[in-house]
């Protein structure tokens, strides 16, 4: 899978996405991640990429030309001409990103992320190139880079081969609409607290049953809003909801 991130701050992206599990997946050839510096494409002799908003108001607006030319460069590089790649603009004025969106986007071969700064990007270039508008939550950040990295991470881990233990992609939090059960490791007793004895029993059926119950109880207490949509049996619904 190929990610192209259009940004004024490529170093921010490169450092984060070359670290840990995503970095390993890049090294092993499962992912290709390219941060493209929008400033490299400005036609302005002073390398300017922003200007005052028409109509007045605070802040600066990123101009259409450098954004469009950076995007065209990516399109040409990946052979998406005249067809256009899935192009995601990160903005709080959009539907909120979710695990199901991550799964769906992970099926694409190429994804382009467009990161805005200042007071946003000239609307005309957005109309021309953006296929998806996505927010990562109801709060305002200074730019689209952190949201792009959040999305790239969540999407990348759904790509086959990226996680060493494929099972962990499917059994984790939010699968089936439930939060994950609590985990324990050595030692058996820490700070006067013992590991739940069932986990030491070697009885896998009982362990699975306990974990399922913990998932449901945890979802009920921490994210009751998720429980209505969760995949529960009639019996579980009767017992826990
Ligand atoms: Cl996608 N961008 C910015 N700038 N702020 C955000 C966001 C995105 N999602 C939530 N807040």
Lowest mean pLDDT among 14-23, 146-155, 164-173: 164-173
pTM of the model as a whole: 0.93
Interval 53-99: pLDDT, tens: 999 999 999 999 999 999 999 999 999 887 889 999 999 999 999 99
Tell me the pLDDT band of 208, cut-offs 50, 70 and 90: very high
CB 210 within 8 A of CB 204: no
CA–centroid distance, residue 89 to ligand 1 (Å):
10
CB-ligand 1 contact for 147 (6 Å cutoff): yes
- Which residue's CA is the closest to the ligand 1 atom numbered 2? 91
| C-beta of 120 in contact with ligand 1 (< 6 A) | no
Q: Note the pLDDT tens digit of each residue in 35-54.
A: 999 999 999 999 999 999 99
The answer to whether residue 221 scores a pLDDT higher than 70 is yes
Residue 156, pLDDT above cutoff 80: yes
């Amino acid at each position: 899978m190929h990610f192209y991130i259009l940004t004024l701050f490529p170093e921010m992206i490169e450092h984060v996405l070359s670290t840990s599990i995503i970095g390993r997946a890049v090294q092993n050839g499962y992912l290709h991640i390219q941060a493209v510096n929008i400033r490299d494409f400005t036609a302005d002799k002073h390398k300017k990429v922003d200007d005052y908003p028409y109509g007045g108001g605070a802040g600066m607006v990123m101009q259409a030309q450098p954004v469009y030319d950076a995007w065209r460069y990516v399109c040409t590089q990946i052979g998406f001409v005249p067809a256009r790649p899935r192009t995601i603009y990160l903005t709080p004025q959009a539907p909120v990103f979710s695990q199901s969106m991550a799964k769906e986007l992970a099926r694409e071969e190429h994804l382009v992320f467009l990161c805005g700064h200042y007071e946003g990007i000239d609307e005309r270039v957005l109309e021309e190139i953006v296929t998806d508008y996505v927010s990562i939550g109801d709060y305002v950040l200074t730019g689209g880079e952190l949201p792009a990295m959040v999305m790239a991470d969540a999407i990348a881990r759904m790509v086959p081969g990226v996680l060493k233990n494929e099972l962990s992609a499917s059994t984790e939090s939010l699968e089936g609409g439930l939060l994950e059960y609590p985990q324990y490791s050595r030692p058996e007793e820490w700070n006067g607290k013992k590991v739940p004895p069932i986990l030491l029993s070697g009885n896998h059926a009982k362990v699975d049953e306990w974990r399922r119950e913990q998932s449901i109880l945890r979802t009920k207490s921490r994210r009751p809003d998720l429980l209505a949509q969760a995949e529960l049996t009639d019996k579980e619904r009767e017992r826990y909801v």
